Chain A
Amino acid sequence: MDSNKLRADFPVLQSSKSIYFDSACTALKPRAVVDAESGYYSELSACAGRSHHSLARRTEEKFEASRARIASFVGAKPEELVFTKNTTEALNLVIRSLDYSQRRKVVSTPLEHHSLLLPIMEQQRRGIVKMEMMGVNQAGEIPESSLSVIDSSTALVAVHHTTNTTGMRAPLEKIVKAAHDAGALVLIDAAQGVPHSRVDFRKLGADFLAFSGHKMCGPTGIGCLVGKKEAFEKLDTFIVGGETVETVSLQAVKWKSAPKRFEAGIQNYAGAIGLAAACDYLSKIGMENIERHEKEMAGKLISAIQSIPGATIYGSVSAPRCALASFNLKGVSAHQVALMADSLSKIAMRSGVFCAEPGANVLGFGKGAARASLYLYNTEEEVRIFAETMQKIAKL
């Protein structure tokens, strides 16, 4: 895999000379994805599953083929994949629709994104669930001992695949086993996992897996909830409307089974087609190659930051992580670091608490950190420029 060659696939990198280190927020889109998405509007522009004219049939075929392609990308069956707006909606769907009549406890970690934590907190505020946290140390690790919070009263364990604050992975194998041993379902927030590593839904063994298109070179506005058939059956309806039902009378409704039951109204066909194109694009490069590239970049990124006197990197530097690092430089605020990186070297990076405030507090950057998050199109030369720029800023 040659990142320098891959850069030619990304129109933004041709028009802007920025060093894009904000892929954890959203990844850049290759031409193939842009063309696939716009292709829907220029060649089809019809709705699927409703009308019977040829354009509608072709839309339906393309939409369902996209579903199958995306499902296959994460090792799932087409009928196990529900299209959502994004990861946030997918997480809300599970957390707000799950039947808590038998078990009320939802277990999570403080490291989660607000998109996962807030729905649980909202359910708790309404008296529907009881939230409990697995302990996390300051290195961002979830010790095995903290899994003891998962017990027979646990309905759901909701946890990240990879955090957006440190790029570290949760010990999913152990968590899934502990949850299933206790009879609980497992929901994995894989927004930062699917784009950066080979994620196989079957091998993970989780009940639900949520991810977004835009973080994996796909379009914005499209996300997925992958779930086992029996897990979907434990969910009540979420957003209801057109195409979620078999029959409706004023007395009774017969709902469709998943995935259609959860896909109300006209869907984001262009987004689904674009996301399928993104899966094709990533598969062509090879997720193993991307993972290897990121590992290499992560090493260089960490070394670059570690070489700066007074720099603090959050999370364990020895633990495996995707090419992401949250850090602070002594004497300069995180926002200043990000703004100056842009001003001095056109480095696009994020600063703040990354929509994970409780996690930021646990990790020690409650007032914010700067975050460099790389992807397949980032190069060693860019990391070198980043290192030089950070050295300059650190000398202030």
Chain B
Amino acid sequence: MLCFVALAVFLVLSIFSAKYRPLARRALDCVVKKATLRPCDAGLDEEIKAASISGIMKISPGGASFLNRHFEAFSLLFTLLFFVSLFFAAQGLYNFIIYGNCNGFEGGFCIYSGLQNEAFLKAPTSLQGVSAGNPNANITVIEFGCYTCPYTKAAETGVQGIISNYGNKVHYVYKAFPLPSHPYSREAALAAFCAADDGKYWEYRAALFDRQEDVRQNGTAVLYDISRSLNLTSFDSCYAAGKHNDLLQKSTDECTASGIYGTPTFFVNGKAFVGPGAVIDAEKEVKKLIGE
């Protein structure tokens, strides 16, 4: 049983050290034989058992005896745990590839986040997007966000804080990056552009974040409902015609070119900050640049 676990472990170790490769080969040989219902004669399982029991015996002879008596049960348990963890690892990887986070929609700690590196992000070259603050300021804060992303919503209070506290010293630009993992993200982004046409972008944006869960659940109906509550006159025709499809595509292309892998992502004078806590770091960077 243990050869399944051994194969995975030694394969990973083989990447870093050649000395594990013969062991990986033996484990593979054993796995192939087990899979074809032949006895494993590689002796690797015996070696693992002997090494495990001997190691424990040096600390606790009683523990070694217990392990020896129940070794098959432990092997089975570890093999099951291996396959269960393999399933979750694969699921996490799938979520990471599709949603940008191991946990899918919900987000949270993701071990694969280490694969992402802010150092590889490229600051956008244009300042196109919804902006606030002082366009002539020396400090530019660019946010790549998604209206139906819970983390973008969580960062919104911080964003508004930066705009209100440092508005005269900071030029804030928002670039829409509707992630496919977030329901109705594209629709919400297009709706926000239409609201901007009616001069009520910031009100619409606030409403989108306030009713984010509703938008995620019920989609377009909620977007229209918000427009009605704000008395947007041209919203219906703008949204129905997909007036800002090109603008959104341009924004999305810009995000892709920058290598954005999660929202919200902030660039403060070109320096990138990613994730739920990024707005705090972005504000710190702003303060540092201001000299506070």
Chain A residues at the B interface, C-beta cutoff of 8 Å:
331-333, 335-336, 339-340, 342-344, 392, 395-396
Cα of A343 to Cα of B56 in the assembled complex, Å: 11
Report chain A residues within 8 Å CB of B65: 395-396
Is there contact, CB below 8 Å, between B43 and A344? no
B64: Cβ under 8 A from any A Cβ: yes
Which segment of B5-13, B26-34, B44-52, B110-118 sits at the interface? B44-52
B242: Cβ under 8 A from any A Cβ: no
Cα of A342 to Cα of B47 in the assembled complex, Å: 11
Cα of A392 to Cα of B65 in the assembled complex, Å: 10
Q: Which of A335, A340, A342 contacts B53 (CB under 8 A)?
A: A340
Report chain B residues within 8 Å CB of A332: 68
Query: A385 → chain B, closest Cβ, in Å?
Result: 15
Cα of A331 to Cα of B57 in the assembled complex, Å: 16
Is there contact, CB below 8 Å, between B50 and A392? no
15 further contact pairs, Cβ within 8 A, besides A336-B53, A339-B49, A340-B53: A331-B68, A332-B68, A333-B46, A335-B43, A339-B51, A342-B50, A343-B50, A343-B55, A344-B57, A344-B58, A392-B57, A395-B65, A396-B57, A396-B68, A396-B69
Residues B153-197 near A (CB distance < 8 A): none
Q: Which partner residue on chain A sits nearest B67 by CB separation? A: A396
Q: Which partner residue on chain A sits nearest B49 by CB separation? A: A336
Report chain A residues within 8 Å CB of B54: 339-340, 343-344
Report chain A residues within 8 Å CB of B64: 396
B199: Cβ under 8 A from any A Cβ: no
Query: A117 → chain B, closest Cβ, in Å?
Result: 21
Pull 27 A–B residue pairs with CB atoms less than 8 Å apart, ordered by A: A331-B68, A332-B68, A333-B46, A335-B43, A335-B46, A336-B46, A336-B49, A339-B46, A339-B47, A339-B49, A339-B50, A339-B51, A339-B54, A340-B50, A340-B53, A340-B54, A342-B50, A343-B50, A343-B51, A343-B54, A343-B55, A344-B54, A395-B61, A396-B53, A396-B64, A396-B65, A396-B69
Cα of A340 to Cα of B65 in the assembled complex, Å: 13
- B interface residue count range (under 10 / 10 to 19 / 20 to 34 / 35 or more): 10 to 19
Report chain B residues within 8 Å CB of A339: 46-47, 49-51, 54
Report chain B residues within 8 Å CB of A392: 57, 61
Cα of A336 to Cα of B47 in the assembled complex, Å: 8
Cα of A396 to Cα of B49 in the assembled complex, Å: 13
Report chain B residues within 8 Å CB of A344: 54, 57-58
Cα of A339 to Cα of B53 in the assembled complex, Å: 10
Cα of A292 to Cα of B91 in the assembled complex, Å: 68
Cα of A332 to Cα of B49 in the assembled complex, Å: 11
Query: B200 → chain A, closest Cβ, in Å?
Result: 75
Cα of A395 to Cα of B69 in the assembled complex, Å: 11
Report chain B residues within 8 Å CB of A343: 50-51, 54-55
Query: A355 → chain B, closest Cβ, in Å?
Result: 15
Between B50, B53, B58, B68, the greatest number of chain A beta carbons within 10 A of the residue's beta carbon is seen for: B50
Cα of A396 to Cα of B46 in the assembled complex, Å: 15
Cα of A88 to Cα of B50 in the assembled complex, Å: 32
Is there contact, CB below 8 Å, between B57 and A336? no
Query: A357 → chain B, closest Cβ, in Å?
Result: 14
Top 8 nearest A-B pairs (CB, nearest first) are A339-B50, A343-B54, A396-B68, A335-B46, A340-B50, A340-B54, A396-B65, A344-B54
Query: A333 → chain B, closest Cβ, in Å?
Result: 7
Cα of A332 to Cα of B55 in the assembled complex, Å: 16
Residues B40-90 near A (CB distance < 8 A): 43, 46-47, 49-51, 53-55, 57-58, 61, 64-65, 68-69
Query: A336 → chain B, closest Cβ, in Å?
Result: 5
Query: B59 → chain A, closest Cβ, in Å?
Result: 12
**Contact digits for B131-169, partner A, Cβ 8 Å, 1 yes 0 no:** 000000000000000000000000000000000000000
Query: A338 → chain B, closest Cβ, in Å?
Result: 8
Report chain B residues within 8 Å CB of A333: 46
Report chain A residues within 8 Å CB of B61: 392, 395
Report chain A residues within 8 Å CB of B43: 335
Cα of A148 to Cα of B49 in the assembled complex, Å: 48
Report chain B residues within 8 Å CB of A395: 61, 65
Cα of A395 to Cα of B43 in the assembled complex, Å: 23
Between B54, B64, B65, B69, the greatest number of chain A beta carbons within 10 A of the residue's beta carbon is seen for: B54
Q: Which partner residue on chain A sits nearest B50 by CB separation? A: A339
Q: Which partner residue on chain A sits nearest B54 by CB separation? A: A343
Between B43, B46, B58, the greatest number of chain A beta carbons within 10 A of the residue's beta carbon is seen for: B46
Report chain A residues within 8 Å CB of B51: 339, 343
Cα of A186 to Cα of B65 in the assembled complex, Å: 50
Cα of A75 to Cα of B58 in the assembled complex, Å: 50
Cα of A332 to Cα of B64 in the assembled complex, Å: 12
Cα of A396 to Cα of B53 in the assembled complex, Å: 9
Cα of A339 to Cα of B47 in the assembled complex, Å: 7
Q: Which partner residue on chain A sits nearest B55 by CB separation? A: A343
